[in-house]
Amino acid sequence: MLYPKERELIVAYGKKLIESKLTTGTSGNISIYLPDKKQLLITPSGMDYAKIQQEDIIVMDLCGNVVEGNKKPSSEYSMHQIFYRRRNDIRALVHVHSVYATTLASINSEIPAVHYLVATAGGDNVRCAKYATYGTKELAENAYQAMENRYAVLLANHGLLTGSKDLPQAFSIALEIEFCAEIYYRTKTLGNPVILTAEEMANVLGRFKKE
């Protein structure tokens, strides 16, 4: 079996998605990219995260061919592949249907700098990508464009996608951005939230880089 360590990590973080309430049921997906092999590992389609075993993880190449695995890969595999083809700073992706991020995505809203932790996404906001049907190359392209210079993007009427250098970090960004989405939603119910300035967010980003 190829890449047992990476498979073990994906299985563990699949369970974390449910435990942290970032997603429910079988929705969402996780992948890890191995640039030296030009292959990615991704969760299977429509399978309960609590039941996924290492052997259920699918290994694919960047052309969409299955290298190893007898399960159907996530329907969003093209959305993962486009980032691995075009960005060398992303080696893992987490896609979830978390409640607050998806709520904002469903009104096609960005997440502005309502809290300094928005900077975990790499800038002073989290953009919302244009809507496209799930599992399509159009959605993959829309997500890629909206996540330019960022590590998180809302998918209109769909959910949240985050990426980073490794899976633990991509998962952490998803948690932080869901928190920021909730804060933005709750403050909007009270009135007009105070948004941090671009200068302050640049200061925060600078501090993050030193940590």
Residue found by looking up tokens 């980032």 in the block: 83
68 a catalytic residue: no
Tokens for 195?
């948004």
Which one of 6, 76, 176, 178 is the catalytic residue? 76
Give the three-state DSSP class for 11: helix
Q: What is the largest CA-CA distance in the chain?
A: 54
DSSP annotation of 54 reads G
185 to 22, 121, 158, 173: CA distances (angstroms): 16, 18, 17, 18
Q: Where are the beta strands (DSSP E) in 97-179?
A: 111-112, 125-126, 128-129, 152-155, 159-164
Tokens for 25?
């049921």
Residue 140 CB burial class (10 angstroms; 0-12, 13-18, ≥19):
buried
Among 121, 134, 126, 122, smallest CA distance to 184 is for: 126
Which positions are catalytic? 76
